[in-house]
Structure 1
């Protein structure tokens, strides 16, 4: 049914009765209303004020009274040719198959990235277990070498995921991206003494920084990665204190304080990002406790600012 104008429909009554005949459509006209009905090419056209339709379908009879505006042809009944519907759904199936193929290719690339991230996590675990000054430089060089391998996977992702369909498939690779950028943030802090920027992270991955440049590092993914790194920094602070690297504890407390202050400048609209940010205060409090315990035991030196 196609309605060209607004129809006010009132159900007069429904009557059910068993009927063993084949599907029959009957039009019962009320002559006193002067109804004219035209049948042309399988289409019914109704005119004037009222008409009454009686449908008999294997025992079901429904009588519906429709009020139609005067002198207008308002109701057009037409059966679409199934071939048209069939052609449409064949087109939908082709689109579905293309989408399915893209997802399979992305899943394979993400699987490869997860393997690389596992290697990075293994190196981080060894750093946590033996954070000695003699071994740290060697561990960080290994991290740097392993991070070079992820560029190949992101280059392949950029070929599969076009810029206009980036957020259609974004959920498939966003979490692994956050983990890899988190490792990059840790590496940059310990080797270059500053917080990883979004442009630096995009360069490490081998992708664009902004959306208009194609396959890029999503801003929220970058921010989630920075927040993810704060938990690792907190763990490093405890391990550094255990191995007597007290100055590094101060460095970690300083960077966490700056990250916390920086995130306060953001007007959060993402619920997930806000919840993730709430975990930062626990990491910051933990590092402050470590720093306090070292201070009261006389194990750390006061900075010039503290003096």
Structure 2
């Protein structure tokens, strides 16, 4: 090979290594924030209902601070190279979706939308060739939400909140119905979706026990996923 070509290739390789390291630093910052949020949100399992809003107020600033990290990340990504680098932060982004969706559920008992999460993270439309929130990552985050709610349903009863499992059951079944209407071709996503049936079963067992003991009004009739 021509020495000049070799020199150019080496320069390109060094630039790529340098860029990868800078991206990794930004992702590490995002991971640090997600670990902090998960640690704080884990307290919901030992916090009484009336104290949860105050707990969520301590988590929201950390969630909003992820905007700075996302802005720093998009500054690093060259134009039209989103798909080249996205795997470096995909898992971190899914965790952010999970935390945002859990906060939304605990605040309003509603499902956060993909556009709402993008807005929270400050992701702009003009970034789409460098950074965006893929639908797949959004759905993975929602599945993690259901996993967490199945645990929360059990611990809520322990803390004397007997109506929460019923609310969770209705919410999760609606979400499951929505997932069932999607054409999921991604193997990993499809497997995780199929596992939701076990979470729903756990929640239904809690609802059944609470209703049998007449600790809460009976839930509205709804179909069980097969």
Q: What is the Cα deviation at residue 208 of structure 1?
A: 3.3
3-state secondary structure, aligned to 1:279: helix
Q: Which residue matches 1:128?
A: 45
Aligned residue pairs, count? 221
1:251-262 to 2 correspondences below 5 Å: 251-262=167-178
Contact 1:208 1:217 in 2 (8 A): no
Contact 2:26 2:69 in 1 (8 A): yes
Q: Which residue matches 2:135?
A: 219
3-state secondary structure, aligned to 1:120: helix
Q: What is the Cα deviation at residue 88 of structure 1?
A: 2.5
**Aligned residue among 78, 83, 88 for 1:172:** 88
Over 3 Å counting, the alpha-carbon distance change for 1:210 and 1:227 in structure 2 is farther
Q: What is the Cα deviation at residue 255 of structure 1?
A: 1.1
Q: What is the Cα deviation at residue 159 of structure 1?
A: 0.5
Q: What is the Cα deviation at residue 251 of structure 1?
A: 1.1
**How many Å separate the matches in 1 of 2:8 and 2:169?**
58
Contact 2:80 2:129 in 1 (8 A): no
1:153 paired with 2:69, answer yes
Q: Which residue matches 2:57?
A: 141
1:106 paired with 2:27, answer no
Contact 1:113 1:176 in 2 (8 A): yes
Q: Which residue matches 2:8?
A: 91
**How many Å separate the matches in 1 of 2:147 and 2:53?**
21
**How many Å separate the matches in 2 of 1:281 and 1:88?**
57
1:234-245 to 2 correspondences below 5 Å: 234-245=150-161
Q: What is the Cα deviation at residue 266 of structure 1?
A: 1.0
Contact 2:81 2:129 in 1 (8 A): no
**How many Å separate the matches in 1 of 2:4 and 2:139?**
46
Task: Provide Cα deviations, 1:211-243, integer angstroms capped at 9, x if missing partner.
Answer: 746421111111110111111111110111111
Structure with greater proportional strand content: 1
Q: Which residue matches 1:287?
A: 203
**How many Å separate the matches in 2 of 1:115 and 1:152?**
13
Q: Which residue matches 1:69?
A: none
Over 3 Å counting, the alpha-carbon distance change for 1:187 and 1:217 in structure 2 is same
1:208 paired with 2:152, answer no
Structure 2 spans left out of the alignment, 5+ residues? 222-226
Q: Which residue matches 2:113?
A: 197
**Aligned residue among 88, 101, 104 for 1:188:** 104
Q: What is the Cα deviation at residue 210 of structure 1?
A: 8.8
- Runs (4 or more) in structure 1 with deviation over 4 Å come to 209-214
Contact 2:37 2:99 in 1 (8 A): yes
Over 3 Å counting, the alpha-carbon distance change for 1:161 and 1:266 in structure 2 is same
3-state secondary structure, aligned to 2:70: helix
Contact 1:224 1:273 in 2 (8 A): yes
Q: Which residue matches 2:224?
A: none
**How many Å separate the matches in 2 of 1:210 and 1:155?**
12
Bigger-Rg structure (1/2): 1
Q: Which structure would you say has the larger RCO, counting Cα contacts within 8 Å and 6 or more residues apart?
A: 2
Over 3 Å counting, the alpha-carbon distance change for 1:163 and 1:253 in structure 2 is farther
- TM-score with structure 2 setting the length: 0.92
**How many Å separate the matches in 2 of 1:288 and 1:183?**
24
3-state secondary structure, aligned to 1:154: helix
Contact 2:46 2:159 in 1 (8 A): no
Q: RMSD over aligned Cα, in angstroms?
A: 1.7
